[in-house]
Structure 1
Amino acid sequence: MKEYKVRSKKMLTFELVENEILIGTLVYKSWFKFNADIETLGSKYQIEPKGFWGTTIELKEGEKILLKFRMNWNGEIVIQTYFNEVKSGYIFKHRGIFKESFVLADQTGTELLVMKPDLKWNTMNYEYHITTSDIFDTFSEKEILLMIALHCANYYMSMITAGM
């Protein structure tokens, strides 16, 4: 089990760190779009909404699609990955109201990570504390999944805020 922190450096930039070592960055292109760039340990990825309404979001490395996600009717985010030509599925969901958190689970319901948001009132940005499971720590793509979980949490928060 590992612990990570996500810090908001600027309004559109988030850094994922483990023991103060930078693991990755997520940089949004603007406030009102879900387009973003991710960089992890020397690799670069692009996040782009697809479709007429932009409800499906893709993660690409160059032109290669590595994963897709979309929010379903009950507020869960369904993630499909295509790492190493193997298709896998995950669910990212919000849990609780007073002890708010997000959970990434595999197709069998096993919790892989828990994210706890922390609103920084001075910047009006969220920062997060992430705890991963021992199973998650064995994933070769864990850095990408951590960064996508961060994007999903921000996506969820913006969708909920827009709905109010």
Structure 2
Amino acid sequence: MKKIDVTQENYRVLTALEKDVQLGRIIYTKWYSNSKSEITVGNKELYTMVPKGFWQSKLEILHGDVVVLKTETKFSGYTMSRPIDPDRPYKIKHKGFFKNGYIVVNYKDEVLLEISPNFSWRKMYPGYTIACADTFGNDDFEKLLIMLSVHYCRNMQNAAAASATNG
């Protein structure tokens, strides 16, 4: 199993590292915002997340002006699909009721990766640990899936924390 550590430099920048080699980076334009943000895969490929819809429950992932992925928020989790292959979606789901973390599965329900949060009390930022097969995460699309899983895991944790404090 491959282990990827995701650290937060500040609340707007998350970096994924495997053995001190950067796999990707998410940069949010504003604090506590899901508005337009950027994902860098490796050191070269730049993707842009653009929210769509009235409630901004859909995202389009753009590489330049080309839509690479479309995502949608559902009660069962998040669904990501390629515009060229919409019948083979990827899904981000919670591991279970008493389990902390999330999984990403393909259209065959095969688990591609598991993501678990780990909070740093020293820095007061959440970090994440991703476990996946050694063969996963080697090409740019799989690295993009890893970074999007971090984005959605962060969103789900923020939503849970917000609903817990609004009681």
Name the TM tier (shorter chain): 0.7 to 0.9
1:121 and 2:121 matched? yes
* Count of residue correspondences: 161
Q: 1:27 to 1:86 in 2, by over 3 A?
A: same
Q: 1:3 to 1:122 in 2, by over 3 A?
A: same
Shift of residue 136, structure 1, vs aligned partner: 3.0
Q: 1:146 to 1:134 in 2, by over 3 A?
A: same
- Which structure 1 residue ranges, 5 or more long, are not aligned? none
1:90 and 2:74 matched? no
Looking at structure 1, the residues matched to 22 and 153 of structure 2 have their Cα atoms a distance apart, in angstroms, of 19
Looking at structure 2, the residues matched to 31 and 53 of structure 1 have their Cα atoms a distance apart, in angstroms, of 18
Looking at structure 2, the residues matched to 62 and 140 of structure 1 have their Cα atoms a distance apart, in angstroms, of 15
- Deviation string 1:101-153 (CA, Å, 9 cap, x unpaired) is 11000111100000110012344321111111256356652111111111111
Q: Is the 8 A contact 1:15 1:24 kept in 2?
A: yes
Sequence identity percentage: 23
Q: Supply the RMSD in Å over aligned alpha carbons.
A: 1.9
| Equivalent of residue 45 in structure 2, options 43, 46, 49 | 43
SS at structure 2 position matched to 1:100: strand
Single out whichever of 1-10 and 90-99 deviates more from structure 2: 90-99
Shift of residue 99, structure 1, vs aligned partner: 4.0
Looking at structure 2, the residues matched to 31 and 141 of structure 1 have their Cα atoms a distance apart, in angstroms, of 27
Letter in 2 for 1:79: M
Looking at structure 1, the residues matched to 138 and 85 of structure 2 have their Cα atoms a distance apart, in angstroms, of 16
Single out whichever of 88-97 and 3-12 deviates more from structure 2: 88-97
Q: Show structure 1 runs of 4+ deviating over 4 A.
A: 137-140
- Deviation string 1:34-77 (CA, Å, 9 cap, x unpaired) is 13111112011111111111110111112111112122123x11
Q: Is the 8 A contact 2:39 2:46 kept in 1?
A: yes
Single out whichever of 89-98 and 21-30 deviates more from structure 2: 89-98
SS at structure 1 position matched to 2:155: helix
Q: 1:138 to 1:32 in 2, by over 3 A?
A: closer
Letter in 2 for 1:36: S
Q: 1:141 to 1:102 in 2, by over 3 A?
A: same
Structure 2-normalised TM-score? 0.86
Letter in 2 for 1:57: L
Q: 1:90 to 1:135 in 2, by over 3 A?
A: farther
Looking at structure 2, the residues matched to 47 and 137 of structure 1 have their Cα atoms a distance apart, in angstroms, of 20
